[in-house]
């Protein structure tokens, strides 16, 4: 837990993330979780996944922009992403982060940018999904999601099982018949608002999975079970069988590069699997959150760094 918290804390420090970012792509260790720095690289990785029968959700990495011009630029890049996916006939959608669309600057600006992305996607017959960020943004994200979904009807939302409020939020969202991506939650949140410890979060995740899948059987939700935890996946599979849910009423989601063995199993069992494919130059905070989820991942980073220093040793002697 101490290591997790330390890595998570480091992920919020720009000087640390910048120094890792200078090396990560060059050395290749970031490529395990990040499809590349450019849209072209992300589309190439997506094509491969789609050829294997997966859907993808493209995410342009970055969070918390500080100018309106930057927010508009991100908006244009999201629209380009969905158009390129469409042109290349790739199955899936895009995932957007609202703080990348100016949520810190103005809720109205953010709503109108998110709305324009959803409208462009709808015109192409596509969907979008909204990520859920730290708890400071939960209320605003729900409000913006509701506004956009009412207008376009093609938007999904990530909901975090560790928050005490989540069941109430689902009741609030039910009339919109939304796609809900159920995640455990990736941020560090205080006891007052979030469950602490894996056992408590897992128990709530299972309970909410059942609630969402039962809702799917009644035509209320389109649940996406987004977890790499084999116990969460097994629970969802049992509930899908119990409820005799048709394949188009639910899906599983996992992140690019994580538990590829489980991804293969879920796909082979005949379920729809959507892979979240992040790309972009601002990949470091995201990458470090993935490390903090599983400190064992630090080993392959260390191995890459050691390999580099071994390769550099002879060159340094020559110089």
> Known catalytic residues?
131, 181
Q: Is 293 in the site for ligand FAD (CB under 6 A)?
A: yes
From residue 23, alpha-carbon distances to 19, 89, 296 in Å are 7, 34, 20
Of the residues 255, 273, 288, 301, which one makes contact with ligand FAD according to CB under 6 A: 255
State which of positions 105-124 bind ligand FAD (CB under 6 A): none
Of the residues 229, 265, 282, 308, which one makes contact with ligand FAD according to CB under 6 A: 229
CA-closest candidate to residue 161, choices 202, 221, 220:
202
Cα atoms in the Cβ-side hemisphere of radius 13 Å centred on 269: 18
Of the residues 46, 149, 263, 297, which one makes contact with ligand FAD according to CB under 6 A: 297
Please give the size of the binding site for ligand FAD, defined by CB under 6 A: 26
Strand-strand pairing, 55-60 and 251-255: unpaired
Of the residues 29, 145, 276, 286, which one makes contact with ligand FAD according to CB under 6 A: 276
| SS3 (DSSP) at 223 | strand
Q: Is 179 in the site for ligand FAD (CB under 6 A)?
A: no
Q: Is 165 in the site for ligand FAD (CB under 6 A)?
A: no
Contacts of 289 (CB under 8 A, 6+ apart): 8, 11, 186
Q: Which is nearer to ligand FAD, 61 or 183 (CB)?
A: 183
Helical segments of 30-133, H only: 39-51, 68-87, 107-123
State which of positions 33-92 bind ligand FAD (CB under 6 A): none
Q: Which is nearer to ligand FAD, 164 or 294 (CB)?
A: 294
Count of beta carbons in the 10 Å neighbourhood of residue 142 = 18
Q: Is 258 in the site for ligand FAD (CB under 6 A)?
A: yes
Q: Give the shortest CB-226-to-ligand FAD separation in angstroms.
A: 4
37 DSSP 8-state letter: S
Q: Which stretch binds ligand FAD (CB under 6 A): 117-125, 137-145, 169-177, 227-235?
A: 227-235
Q: Which is nearer to ligand FAD, 95 or 152 (CB)?
A: 95
Q: Give the shortest CB-191-to-ligand FAD separation in angstroms.
A: 17
CA-closest candidate to residue 40, choices 84, 106, 2:
84
Count of beta carbons in the 10 Å neighbourhood of residue 260 = 12
CA 51 to the chain's CA centroid: 21
Q: Is 185 in the site for ligand FAD (CB under 6 A)?
A: yes
| SS3 (DSSP) at 126 | coil
| Interface residue list for ligand FAD (CB under 6 A) | 131-132, 158, 160, 181, 183-187, 198, 226-229, 232, 253-255, 258-259, 276, 290, 293-294, 297
């Amino acid at each position: 837990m101490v290591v997790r918290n330390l890595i998570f804390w480091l992920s919020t420090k720009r000087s640390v993330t910048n120094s890792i970012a200078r090396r990560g792509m060059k050395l290749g260790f970031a490529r395990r979780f990040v499809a590349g720095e450019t849209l072209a690289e992300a589309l190439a990785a997506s094509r491969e996944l789609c050829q294997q029968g997966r859907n993808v959700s493209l995410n342009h990495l970055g969070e918390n922009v500080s100018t309106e011009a930057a927010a508009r630029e991100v908006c244009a890049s999201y629209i380009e992403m969905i158009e390129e996916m469409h042109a290349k006939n790739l199955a899936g959608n895009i995932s957007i982060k609202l703080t990348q669309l100016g949520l810190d600057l103005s809720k109205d600006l953010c709503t109108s940018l998110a709305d324009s992305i959803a409208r462009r996607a709808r015109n192409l017959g596509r969907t979008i999904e909204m990520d859920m960020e730290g708890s400071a943004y939960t209320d605003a994200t729900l409000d913006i999601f509701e506004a956009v979904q009412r207008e376009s009807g093609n938007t999904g939302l990530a909901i975090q099982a560790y928050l005490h409020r989540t069941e109430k939020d689902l009741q609030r969202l039910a009339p919109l018949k939304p796609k809900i991506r159920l995640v455990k939650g990736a941020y560090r949140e205080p006891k007052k608002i979030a469950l602490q410890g894996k056992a408590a979060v897992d128990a709530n995740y299972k309970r909410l999975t059942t609630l969402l899948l039962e809702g799917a059987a009644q035509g209320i939700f389109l649940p996406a079970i987004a977890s790499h935890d084999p116990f969460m996946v097994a629970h969802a599979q049992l509930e899908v069988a119990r409820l005799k849910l048709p394949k188009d009423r639910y899906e599983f989601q996992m992140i690019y590069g994580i538990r590829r063995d489980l991804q293969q199993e879920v796909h082979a069992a005949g379920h729809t699997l959507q892979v979240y494919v992040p790309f972009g130059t601002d990949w470091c905070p995201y990458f470090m959150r993935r490390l903090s989820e599983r400190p064992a991942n630090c080993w392959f980073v260390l191995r890459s760094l050691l390999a580099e220093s071994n390769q550099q040793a002879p060159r340094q002697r020559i110089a």
